[in-house]
Amino acid sequence: MPKRKDGPAVDPLQQALTVLPGVGPKLAEKLAVRGLVHVQDLWFHLPRQYEDRTALTPIRSLLPGVPAQVEGRVEAVERGFRYRPMLRVAIGDEGHGTLVLRFFHFRAAQVAQFQPGARVRCFGTPRPGQHGLEIVHPSYRVLDPRADDALADRLDPVYPAIEGVGPASLRRLIGLALDRLPDEGVLELLPAGLLEHLHLPSLRNALLTVHRSPADADLQALSAGTHPAQRRLAIEELLAHHLSLRRQRLAQQAHAAPPLRERALSRRLQAALPFELTAAQRRVFEQIRLDLALPRPMLRLVQGDVGSGKTVVAALAAMLAVEGGKQAALMAPTELLAEQHLANLRGWLEPLGIRVAWLAGKVTGRARGRVLEEVASGEAQVVVGTHALMQEGVVFHDLALAIVDEQHRFGVHQRLALRDKGAGGGVGPGAIVPHQLVMTATPIPRTLAMAAYADLDVSAIDELPPGRTPVQTIVLSAERRPELIERIRAACAEGRQAYWVCTLIDDSDEVVAQAAQTTFEGLSSQLPELRVDLVHGRMKAAGKQAAMRAFKAGETDLLVATTVIEVGVDVPNASLMIIENAERLGLAQLHQLRGRVGRGSAASNCVLLYQSPLSALARQRLETMRQTQDGFVIAEKDLELRGPGELLGTRQTGIAGFRVADLARDADLLPSVHEIGERLLAESPDLAGRLVERWVGSAARYAAA
Ligand code: ADP
Ligand code: MG
């Protein structure tokens, strides 16, 4: 280790930030809030964009929306106080053009600086104003006529803000940290051969390039995040995340789980089903069966498009646990969905003499006491419920299989909490834990699944049961809403049912519920001959379920609903869905909603109503919906249009919130990441640990879970 003149041998990668001049306990605390604890953390606090102050743009060449640096002399100054204080400064460059600088907050001293004729250099993004282009709150400097006014020789990095630390101090700190960048030998963790192979620079070079980009650096590439220096950082970050998930996985496999081998009961269930399993269902069940037969915990994700029939596969898996004299639990994110699972499972399993218990938040008092007893004694062989299953006080007799439906709605923590309901309590290597099966209807592109779920085995049910007619999707402007009334009338006259889905941009349940109420009243009076009902998130659970149950039983013709019906609800007789304000929803959500129709044999329609004018992006989304019904194609498109953060949701295993990597943009790096990751784990686990520590830091503590 290199000696430093200010102390004994220190590992430069482990130096605390407080070694930097000016970093006392107070500042250190503010930085720690953002996970910046070591000097190296500042090296990896990367710019989110760049400003080019290395050149001047003539005022007449400015373009709206394009950031630029300009220089000019003050031509006029105007202070106004109409609604709030305002300062307008017009600057011009020798009669070639005028630009207005506009300020809403300013001090008197600032006003005094803008003497007519003074030379001002400023940077900002021009926008069209009342009198030509203007820049609101530019960063600026009044040039001293005698002083040097050389242009910057580097691009200015703009860093993600840190509360309580101004941008200038942050830059200074990062500068100080960079001065302490050690030699490549110390810094570099990736194998040299790999970097050469991918034509990527060393870490040291990459860091210096992104923080101190020379004037001639490719600004466009840097802004787009495609510069080789950024790709170099991205591959390391992706690798660190991959390793973190894989280590989690290995830790998981160090646990033991009860092998489940008997299969008479699952055969009996298959024989009793009113339908044949599809080939995809059979294949996935077979994979699960092989996993469960082993004495280590299964951790498998089943992806299957809406309606592909995941529930029955879960029920078959549960039979393997029950037959071994153990228990299975099925947890769903909403009460509505859990209730539907309960009904399905009771329908399938009770004829086989299997006891299915129900546990949700609303099961209280004596009833709850009875259920808890049944669960604890093992009398309940299968337990279906909501989050309530994970609560304290719920003790299983012998939980061997934990099934989580719609897993994207749950966080890693919650998944683990259910696992910890196993007999061994789930701690420490060698502890006995239940097998885990997680299911999702949110298809994830292959590349992404590899990065997002390196800790899970993934199976896909990529086939729909036979006899479904594709849903025809129609995109209509909201002005044509009256025509829809007739369409609903016609469909219901044929004994079909319809959904009318109200969505609003407003996140508040209250506002959305109000809109649904208004729509419900309007439709009820326009369609007096129909039985119209309403379900929304603000209703009591009992009311929601009563409405859903009535719709399922065919006692309601038209159900006005908010997106509470999104997940998993199954009513095969519903063949028409109208979605209001469809332009405001993401592709994944539209796909989930549309999946509520087309579940029976009747030809189904989905009408996407939009408010004009449509943005280009919204138009593309609706067009995608019109063209395809394949969840995987839609997911790929979603990834392209929105990026992976939104696709996966922020609750994923830390997959959102990369510092440099972008799964959509850097997807081509993933195969290398995968390959190098496996090699590192096998050959240099220590190096792997250091990579995880560097990039994932505290999040990696899951590894011990
Ligand atoms: P999802 O994968 O969206 O959770 P479900 O498990 O709710 O789908 O299944 C959708 C519907 O399809 C249910 O009514 C279910 O009983 C039915 N189903 C499942 N598998 C088959 C099959 N192989 N053939 C016919 N219908 C099936
Ligand atoms: Mg489902």
Would you place residue 73 in the very low, low, confident or very high pLDDT band (cuts 50, 70, 90)?
very high
* Cβ contact 302:438 at 8 Å: yes
Lowest-pLDDT range, 234-248, 279-293, 439-453, 598-612?
A: 439-453
Q: Are strands 574-579 and 497-501 parallel, antiparallel or unpaired?
A: parallel
- What stretch of H or E contains 677? helix 670-683
Q: Which long-range contacts (CB under 8 A, 24 or more apart) does 407-415 make?
A: 407/301, 407/438, 407/439, 407/440, 408/440, 408/442, 408/648, 408/649, 408/651, 408/652, 409/333, 409/567, 409/651, 410/331, 410/333, 410/651, 411/651, 412/653, 412/702, 414/387, 414/390
| Nearest protein CA to atom 24 of ligand 1, as residue | 465
**Residue 124 forms part of a structural domain:** yes
pLDDT for the residue 449: 67
Q: Which residues form the domain of 317?
A: 266-461
Same domain, 161 and 146: no
* Cα atoms in the 13 Å half-sphere on the side-chain side of 178: 19
Ligand 1 pocket list (CB less than 6 A): 275-278, 281, 304, 306-312, 441, 465, 568, 570, 599
Query: What's the CA gap between 16 and 10, in Å, rounded?
Result: 10
pTM of the model: 0.68
Would you place residue 124 in the very low, low, confident or very high pLDDT band (cuts 50, 70, 90)?
very high
**Residue 2 forms part of a structural domain:** no
pLDDT for the residue 505: 53
With H, G, I as helix, E, B as strand and everything else as coil, classify residue 2: coil
Q: How remote is the CA of residue 306 from the centroid of ligand 2, in Å?
A: 7
Q: Are strands 139-142 and 156-158 parallel, antiparallel or unpaired?
A: unpaired
| pLDDT tens per residue, range 358-373 | 999 888 899 999 999 9
Same domain, 208 and 69: no
**Type of residue numbered 221:** A
Query: What's the CA gap between 30 and 164, in Å, rounded?
Result: 7
Would you place residue 648 in the very low, low, confident or very high pLDDT band (cuts 50, 70, 90)?
very low
| pLDDT for 284 beyond 90 | yes
**Residue 102 forms part of a structural domain:** yes
Residue 550: exposed, middle, or buried by beta-carbon count in 10 A (0-12, 13-18, 19+)? middle
Average pLDDT over residues 398-409: 84
Average pLDDT over residues 397-418: 74
| pLDDT for 704 beyond 60 | no
Lowest-pLDDT range, 120-129, 288-297, 341-350, 445-454?
A: 445-454
pLDDT for the residue 422: 67
Same domain, 373 and 431: yes
CATH number at residue 73: 2.40.50.140
Pocket test for ligand 1, best of 283, 306, 311 (most atoms within 8 A of CB): 311
Same domain, 498 and 434: no
Query: What's the CA gap between 410 and 438, in Å, rounded?
Result: 10
Q: How remote is the CA of residue 588 from the centroid of ligand 1, in Å?
A: 20
With H, G, I as helix, E, B as strand and everything else as coil, classify residue 66: coil
Q: How remote is the CA of residue 446 from the centroid of ligand 1, in Å?
A: 24
Which residue among 628, 655, 685 closes a domain?
Answer: 628
* Cβ contact 375:395 at 8 Å: yes
Same domain, 475 and 620: yes
Would you place residue 647 in the very low, low, confident or very high pLDDT band (cuts 50, 70, 90)?
very low
Average pLDDT over residues 169-176: 94
Which residue among 122, 150, 178 closes a domain?
Answer: 150
**Residue 658 forms part of a structural domain:** no
> To the nearest whole percent, how much of the chain has pLDDT over 70?
88
Report every protein residue that has its C-beta within 5 angstroms of ion ligand 2: 568
Greater pLDDT, 648 or 449: 449
Same domain, 503 and 551: yes
Same domain, 379 and 293: yes
**Residue 64 forms part of a structural domain:** yes
Nearest ligand, CA 274 = 1
| Nearest protein CA to atom 20 of ligand 1, as residue | 309
Q: How remote is the CA of residue 268 from the centroid of ligand 1, in Å?
A: 18
Same domain, 562 and 586: yes
> 222, 63, 65: which is closest to 158 by C-alpha?
222
- What stretch of H or E contains 233? helix 228-253
Phi, psi of 100 (to 5 degrees): -100, 130
| pLDDT for 266 beyond 80 | yes
Query: What's the CA gap between 616 and 638, in Å, rounded?
Result: 14
Which residue among 98, 125, 150 closes a domain?
Answer: 150
> To the nearest whole percent, how much of the chain has pLDDT over 90?
42
Query: What's the CA gap between 204 and 188, in Å, rounded?
Result: 8
Same domain, 518 and 423: no
Average pLDDT over residues 631-642: 77
**Residue 666 forms part of a structural domain:** no
pLDDT for the residue 213: 93
pLDDT for the residue 650: 34
Same domain, 306 and 364: yes
Same domain, 414 and 550: no
pLDDT for the residue 671: 82
**Type of residue numbered 145:** P
> 301, 339, 342, 341: which is closest to 435 by C-alpha?
301
Nearest ligand, CA 338 = 2
| pLDDT for 688 beyond 60 | yes
Same domain, 358 and 428: yes
Q: Rounded mean pLDDT of the chain? A: 85
Would you place residue 400 in the very low, low, confident or very high pLDDT band (cuts 50, 70, 90)?
very high
CATH number at residue 322: 3.40.50.300
Q: How remote is the CA of residue 564 from the centroid of ligand 1, in Å?
A: 20
**Residue 231 forms part of a structural domain:** no
Domain count, the chain: 4
**Residue 697 forms part of a structural domain:** no
pLDDT for the residue 639: 72
